[in-house]
């Protein structure tokens, strides 16, 4: 069987999603990263609604690096605080907790959210 990065990430993602679930009091922070941007959103899985979202395009950045990722996390934390959210569940979406994903998580923590 040949190595397939997409299938590997989908398998890891499925395992993570079986274990965690977002509620209105403690929403799920879902992260997606592409070559051109990084996206984060807080999701209430009981209703199926997005509570808050932030991305690198919103900040006017063409590149995605550690600094941009951290700023996206801080911006999301600001929006979550305005909604009255203090704790979240982190869904790394099958990505390794390293680099840009870790920087985004650190930015969310610096913004005042706990997970």
pLDDT tens, 29-66? Answer: 999 999 999 999 999 989 999 999 999 999 998 889 99
Instruction: Determine contact, residues 100/38, Cβ cutoff 8 Å.
Output: yes
Confidence of residue 2 (pLDDT cuts 50, 70, 90): low
Structure tokens at 63: 């590149």
What is the per-residue DSSP string for 36-104? S-EEEEEEETTTTEEEEEEETTTTT-SS--HHHHHHHHHHHHHHHHHHT--B-EEE-TT--SSTHHHHH
Which domains are present in the chain?
A: 5-110 (3.30.420.100)
On the question of pLDDT at 86 being above 50, the answer is yes
What integer pLDDT is reported at residue 1 of this predicted model? 47
What mean pLDDT comes out for the span 74-78? 96
- Residue 9: per-residue pLDDT: 84
pLDDT of residue 62: 84
Token digits of residue 23: 């509620």
User: pLDDT at position 50, please?
Assistant: 94
């Amino acid at each position: 069987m040949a190595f397939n990065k997409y299938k590997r990430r989908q398998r890891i993602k499925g395992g993570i999603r079986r274990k965690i679930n977002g509620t209105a009091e403690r929403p799920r922070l879902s992260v997606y990263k592409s070559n051109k941007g990084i996206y984060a959103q807080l999701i209430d899985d009981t209703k199926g609604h997005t509570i808050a979202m932030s991305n690198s395009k919103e900040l006017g950045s063409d590149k995605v690096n550690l600094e941009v990722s951290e700023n996206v996390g801080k911006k999301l934390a600001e929006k979550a605080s305005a909604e009255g959210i203090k704790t979240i569940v982190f869904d790394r979406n099958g990505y390794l907790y390293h680099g840009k994903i870790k920087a985004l998580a650190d930015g969310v923590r610096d913004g005042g959210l706990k997970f």
